[in-house]
Chain A
Amino acid sequence: AQTVTQSQPEMSVQEAETVTLSCTYDTSENNYYLFWYKQPPSRQMILVIRQEAYKQQNATENRFSVNFQKAAKSFSLKISDSQLGDTAMYFCAFMKGGGANNLFFGTGTRLTVIP
């Protein structure tokens, strides 16, 4: 079974600073996908970024980037120039490759951006 671990239940960061959220996962698969989802206080879950395991290059989306360490099974999210709108729950998620559609989620990290 796949497990996803987020060891930081809560974090805070000053506005305009950089913060890194950690995520580790356990799988015997070689082909898989990793995701970071954001859930603001309004509750709509939004995709932040995704990474295909076969890609060595780390994914980036504007101020969001990941550090994907396949051997260590680590997938951290870096948020640069934090903004008040980044305040949210962040979930790391795993999906097997091929025809699989199931997402396995971590327990989430609540991030607060302090003005």
Chain B
Amino acid sequence: DVKVTQSSRYLVKRTGEKVFLECVQDMDHENMFWYRQDPGLGLRLIYFSYDVKMKEKGDIPEGYSVSREKKERFSLILESASTNQTSMYLCASSRQGVKTQYFGPGTRLLVL
């Protein structure tokens, strides 16, 4: 089974803090994704990566950056957290050419 793990289930941070959300997948997938999930809005793509050190902006990249130094790990970075970034963050991965994405359990981030 594909396993996608995220470093934290719950996280509480202060406004202005730098926040790192980590995602690791164990199936050698080329593609990795970061989404945020908000009630009434569904999931929206923040960034994705199709290879090590490669990244593409999604629909809502403002206020976020990403890092992919190793194939199995994809990090989402909030350079200066703000209260409007309080949300559920979901990581996903997929094999290149295969359309199905596999999701991690999510990180619920609260920014005070």
A-B contact count, CB below 8 Å? Answer: 52
A113 vs chain B, min Cβ distance (A)? 21
Which of A37, A46, A50 is in CB contact (< 8 Å) with B99?
A: A50
Contact with B along A100-111 (1 / 0, CB 8 A): 011101111000
B27 vs chain A, min Cβ distance (A)? 14
Closest to A4 in B: B42
Contacts of A84 in B (CB 8 A): none
A43 contacts partner chain B, Cβ-Cβ < 8 Å:
yes
Contacts of B42 in A (CB 8 A): 4, 6, 91, 105-108
Q: Which of A37, A43, A107 has the largest count of B CB atoms less than 10 A from its CB? A: A43
B: number of interface residues (CB 8 Å): 24
Are A101 and B31 in touch, CB under 8 angstroms? yes
B87-105 contacts to A (CB < 8 Å): 88, 90, 92, 94, 99-105
Are B41 and A107 in touch, CB under 8 angstroms? yes
A47 contacts partner chain B, Cβ-Cβ < 8 Å:
yes
Contact with B along A20-42 (1 / 0, CB 8 A): 00000000000001010100001
Q: A95 and B48 in contact (CB under 8 A), knowing A42-B105, A105-B42?
A: no
A106 vs chain B, min Cβ distance (A)? 6
Are B45 and A103 in touch, CB under 8 angstroms? yes
Residue ranges of A at the interface with B (Cβ–Cβ < 8 Å): 4, 6, 9, 33, 35, 37, 42-47, 50, 91, 93, 95, 101-103, 105-108
Residue ranges of B at the interface with A (Cβ–Cβ < 8 Å): 31, 33, 35, 40-45, 48, 50, 58, 88, 90, 92, 94, 99-106
